[in-house]
Amino acid sequence: MPEGDTVWRAARDLHAALAGKELTRCDIRVPRFATVDFTGDTVEEVVSRGKHLLIRGGGGGESEGWDIHSHLKMEGLWHVYAHGQKWRRPGFKARCVLETADNVVVGFELGFLRVLPRSGEEEAVGYLGPDLLGGDWDPAEALRRLALQPERPLGLALLDQRNLAGIGNVYRCELCFLAGVHPLTPVGEVRNLPRIVDLAKKLLEANKLRSTRATTGNLRGNNLWVYGRSNRGCLRCGTPVVLEQLGDSELELRDLYYCPHCQPPAGGGRTLER
């Protein structure tokens, strides 16, 4: 599931393939932007912002520059190919194809894709909270934003990108488990909130260079404490993991995994795992 660490790796790989290179082909397969063609422009850089990815280019001379802004959502991904190399997904699933003299970059099944003038970037992603893997990371600001919603369940507040950017559903469930906090505990009742924010940073940093995401320290299986374990039980105590759904609305419901023994429905939680 694409979360902040996945998008960070995608940005790193695309930056290596595109930055400083002139586009020899630009094929954006989204009806609204189908006539946009940046062929001949130079890509400046590719960066991640939480779970968003920005390909920036065309800012030479008096040009304002442009952004290709994408979000992977559930199924999206970016691939880098050599010319002539067979794509690993069918062409009809491609939403953006960018070519340079050296590489072919393809975005498949992107949750959304749009083209922005550089001046529109702030409006597009400026609402996001501090990026756990970005240069703007500020734990004090993340805590300040979380504190503004003391009645909101922690399991919803952690997933809200306006508080801290980069946490997806897997990390939401694993962080609540490691904190020993029931995900429905109101933010204002969580005593170890600073440690949870600190752990979120440590987990994403530890996983950003890994192809396998792990919160248990085990990369060869049993890599997650509760996420996806509703049929196997909690890795710590063996209690059947509960699978429910949680979201701010019916359209935003996401699977929620927790251990009813390790995460009793009471405020505060116990000391975090070290």
Contact assessment for residue 8 and residue 133, using Cβ atoms and an 8 Å cutoff: yes
Quick one: angle between helices 169-179 and 193-207, nearest 10? 130
One of 254, 260, 264, 273 is an active-site residue; which one? 254
Provide the CA 155 distance to its chain's centre, in angstroms.
Answer: 16
Handedness of CA 28, 33, 35, 41 (dihedral sign): negative
Q: Length of the chain, please? A: 274
Catalytic residue at 172? no
Catalytic residue at 201? no
Specify the amino acid at residue 148: L
- Distance in angstroms (rounded) separating the CA atoms of residues 4 and 166: 4
Dig out the tokens for 213 from the structure: 């995401």
Computed over its alpha carbons, how large is the radius of gyration of the chain? 20
One of 9, 49, 51, 95 is an active-site residue; which one? 51
Side by side, the strands of the sheet bearing 43-49 are: 43-49, 52-57, 66-71, 112-117
Catalytic residue at 51? yes
Catalytic residue at 93? no
Residue 228: phi, psi to the nearest 5?
75, 10
Residue 68's nearest CA partner among 116, 34, 100 is 116
Can you state the percent helix, strand and coil of the chain, rounding each to 5? 25, 25, 50
- Distance in angstroms (rounded) separating the CA atoms of residues 255 and 168: 11
Residues serving a catalytic function are 2-3, 51, 254
